[in-house]
Structure 1
Amino acid sequence: MTSQENQAAYARRMHHVLEYIDRHLDQTLELNTLAEVAHFSAFHFHRLFSAWMGETFGDYLRRRRLEIAAMRLIAQPGVPVLEIALSVGFGSAEAFARAFKTRFGCSATEWRRGQAERWASQLEASHNGTSSQNSNPDQMHGKQDQAGKLRPGHHGNSPTATTEILMKVKIIERQAAKIAYMRYTGAYGQPISQFWVKTVSPWMETNNLFGRPRYGISHDDPAITSPEKCRYDAGVEVPPDFVASGKSFTTTIPGGSYAVTRYIGDGRDIGETWTGLLRDWLPASGMQLDARPCFEYYPTDATCDAQTGAFECDLCIPVVPL
């Protein structure tokens, strides 16, 4: 294989490892097990992981567990702190408390209370008409216009202001779906829009993938994870025999129960809709998240108005009984 092909093969193996970690955070994760997932020698895996990720396996695993815990503390306010700690792989409340305070500078309880107060104050501000002044610039990603090409759209995640949202949420059973995707790593926002337009669109055209359902998967919350470490996957459904090449990868969106709400707008308030789903609807629903990813789903019949910028998509979160 060429040098580029070798690099792509390494990247695909590492993507499998990161996906495996996310779906098994509540379990003991040993280097030998992950080396097997990556089909690398256990002797060399630790060094390879550090070189590829820019942090040791232990540091990455600790960071990922704490960031997922921080998100669940907000999205699941009725779940005891210890239960959340156990759900991300900490063996005791003491170990979790020490690690959480080291990472975030406060206790898990203080974090949960502080985030709740922050959202409440921002909700009040939005009612007073000040939210537009306090909000960050919208985050962007690509949309598909009626001609099949991708155009810029807005991508919101963890906005700094929120409003009360009357949303219709339904629980559906989704079948597993194989997707091919390209990954962007870095600060969310305008760069994601450019990523769709300049990188993903030509790749989709080359592989004859237009006209298929698409996915946008934000793996990290930029309010929690450092911008340079945030990961976003731009994906499209592909046939079972599709083989990834170049800088593309394949994975399976797991099937099962998902809470879904339809978003319609120009994207400027999509972050607020995510907030309403995760931090308002979910805690009152009697459901909780599991290890599957949240994602935006763009069905083939989703409307898109090139003149107004209005589009529609389904916001999907994986749920299981509380």
Structure 2
Amino acid sequence: MATQNTPIKQYHQGYSQRFNRVLDHIDQHLDQSLDLSQLAAIAYFSPYHFHRMFASCMGETPGDYIRRRRLAVAAFLLSHHPQRSILEIALMVGFGSGEALARAFKSLFGHTPTAWRQGADQHWAEEVVAIRQRAWWQRNFDQVIRNLDQTKLQGIGEDVSSNSQPRKTTMHVTIEHIPQRRVAYIRQIGPYGPAIGALWRNTFEPWLQLNGLTTQTCYGLGHDDPSITPPEKCRYDACVEVPDDFVANGQASIMILPAGRYAVMRFKGTGRDIADAWRALFSEWLPSSGMQVQCDLGPCFERYDRRVERDEATGEFECDLCIPVRPN
């Protein structure tokens, strides 16, 4: 069983590809029935063995995991899709009625769906604090994945969640059609922060070198909202574009980032600033844009062009913040 605030170490010990398939399938089918035998077949386990291994590796039963993911997605939809009814959101995440969603939602979050929706601004404030607490490592991200002969992170453990004055975010957002990308990824399950820096430095970067992928575009996908998801259960994928004939090996898995319309904001700054850039994109640009998040398209992500160098003097790096969108 995973301990509080500790990455799930067992996850990558032989079963990462199998469980990645299961977790990705769950996220893509939250509105459907997800029974144990179906998930076990995806992982190539018997139902009994799958249930036992899932609970051991993930720190919760398959049923508890699915319920938590459904409620987390419902919380996001309530905050960012005010035009959708509670019943509609309930059906989108696999609950049979608005009343069933309301009971489960209040049990987990302590608020009714209606109260949660009305307090969206407060949830944003909590989200920004949570992102800032995880974001310090990104100050060195560019150095980690671009300067192959300099893998030592500096400033590890620096606290940017307090006593720091984030600069005002300048937003230049474009709507871009991004083609389908086939990516290989290595997943970290555990608290955002130092463990993610270690994932890039100690695991993903050596894997990129071993597979001749050091010049390819990389992506960072944080799947979970750290203001509502327990730290030890947050999922982060370090990703890299790969050709169609590439076969994943070791801890890596393959997934498709789907083609679609994305709001893309060019970010330049340090880890101190990126949380505020995400906040501004969602809470300032999105409501006045005539767009809404297209939740069924795929996750939001950061896109890193490895040809762009990190500024050693200022600690600044550049990336694109990408949100799948559609017209309201």
Compared CA separation, residues 136 and 55, structure 1 to 2 (3 A): closer
Write the distance in 1 (CA, Å) between the matches of 2:47 and 2:123.
Answer: 45
Q: Which position in structure 1 is the counterpart of 2:51? A: 46
Alignment of 1:8-157 (within 5 A): 8=14, 10-42=15-47, 44-117=49-122, 119=124, 136=133, 138-141=135-138, 142-144=141-143, 147-148=147-148, 152=153
User: 1:63-105 CA deviation, whole Å, 9 max, x = no partner?
Assistant: 0010111122222334333322222111101000000000001
Q: Secondary structure at the match of 2:293?
A: strand
Give the RMSD, CA atoms, in angstroms: 3.1
Question: Do the aligned partners of 2:218 and 2:240 also contact (CA within 8 Å) in 1?
Answer: yes
TM-superposed CA distance for 1:120, in Å, is 7.3
Question: Do the aligned partners of 1:50 and 1:56 also contact (CA within 8 Å) in 2?
Answer: yes
Within the candidate set 306, 314, 318, 2:320 is matched to 314
- Unaligned 5+ residue runs, structure 1? 124-130
Select the structure with the greater relative contact order (CA < 8 A; seq sep ≥ 6): 2
TM-superposed CA distance for 1:232, in Å, is 0.8
TM-superposed CA distance for 1:44, in Å, is 4.1
TM-score (structure 1 length as normaliser): 0.83
Q: Secondary structure at the match of 1:269?
A: helix
Question: Do the aligned partners of 1:178 and 1:251 also contact (CA within 8 Å) in 2?
Answer: yes
TM-score (structure 2 length as normaliser): 0.81
Write the distance in 2 (CA, Å) between the matches of 1:313 and 1:207.
Answer: 23
Q: Secondary structure at the match of 2:20?
A: helix
Q: Which position in structure 2 is the counterpart of 1:210? A: 214
Q: Secondary structure at the match of 2:24?
A: helix
Write the distance in 2 (CA, Å) between the matches of 1:137 and 1:90.
Answer: 32
Question: Do the aligned partners of 1:153 and 1:309 also contact (CA within 8 Å) in 2?
Answer: no
Compared CA separation, residues 122 and 39, structure 1 to 2 (3 A): closer
Q: Secondary structure at the match of 1:140?
A: helix
Deviates more, 1:44-53 or 1:171-180: 44-53
Identity within the alignment, %: 47
Question: Do the aligned partners of 2:186 and 2:204 also contact (CA within 8 Å) in 1?
Answer: yes
Question: Do the aligned partners of 2:126 and 2:227 also contact (CA within 8 Å) in 1?
Answer: no
Q: Which position in structure 1 is the counterpart of 2:295? A: 290
Write the distance in 1 (CA, Å) between the matches of 2:134 and 2:248.
Answer: 34
Compared CA separation, residues 241 and 166, structure 1 to 2 (3 A): same
Question: Do the aligned partners of 2:263 and 2:323 also contact (CA within 8 Å) in 1?
Answer: yes
What amino acid maps onto 2:137 in structure 1?
A: M
Write the distance in 2 (CA, Å) between the matches of 1:122 and 1:60.
Answer: 21
Q: Which position in structure 2 is the counterpart of 1:175? A: 179
User: 1:201-249 CA deviation, whole Å, 9 max, x = no partner?
Assistant: 2222222221110010101111010001111111111122222222222
Write the distance in 2 (CA, Å) between the matches of 1:208 and 1:40.
Answer: 33
- Unaligned 5+ residue runs, structure 2? 1-9, 156-160
Write the distance in 1 (CA, Å) between the matches of 2:95 and 2:271.
Answer: 37
Within the candidate set 254, 265, 270, 2:269 is matched to 265
- Is 1:254 the equivalent of 2:258? yes
